Amino acid sequence: MPILGVIASSNYQRVTDTGAMFPLGMVQVGSGGSASISFTSIPSTYKHLQVRFLAQDTRAGYYIGDMNMRFNSSSTGYAFHILTGNGSTAFADQGTNYAEIYIGSGSIGTTTGGTFGAGVIDILDYTSTSKYKTTRTLVGNDHNGTGGTGSLGGRITFTSGLWQNTNAINAITIYGGNGNLAQYSSFALYGIKGA
């Protein structure tokens, strides 16, 4: 069984790790919150990108908040598919010709105290100049079965996104769809090597 790029057996052998991840940057929202966070000047030396986050928003009265993403400051040409559920009901939707990619209900309103939503965003073939850019996202949050106005008590969301542009991605902006990102929301960017 491979463990950290090494085969665990009596015959110690090193293996090639083509999927290695490298930390590129981290942003933590400061006091007072922020409308958005950005990663800029992203190097073009990787195959894919991944963003991992813990997020809370300032939307009063709601336990769950939406999040969105743009590339290279562009506000055109985005589309998405979404599948979400709370353990008893499921919901699916899609959108085209949007001004951003809908990440999903990734943040938690500050009305819940110290809890945060969590998520992972994969951005595939971000340096390619011959194809549109695609994303896949898994986000989730939980409130022990309780919910605020207009929200579920907790949910998990799977989304795919499309940016209909062949430009290489050199900047990523993530922002709350319903309020500012709250203090201590954290976002980490990784580069992924691969074939």
* Residue 154: CATH number of its domain: 2.60.120
12 within a domain of the structure (yes/no): no
Domain of residue 30 covers: 21-192
Res 108 pLDDT > 90: no
79 within a domain of the structure (yes/no): yes
Whole-number average pLDDT of the chain: 83
Read off the pTM: 0.84
6 within a domain of the structure (yes/no): no
pLDDT digits (tens, 9 = 90+) for 60-70: 666 677 889 99
5 within a domain of the structure (yes/no): no
Q: Is 149 in contact with 64 (CB distance < 8 Å)?
A: no
96 within a domain of the structure (yes/no): yes
Tell me how many domains the chain contains. 1
Res 26 pLDDT > 50: yes
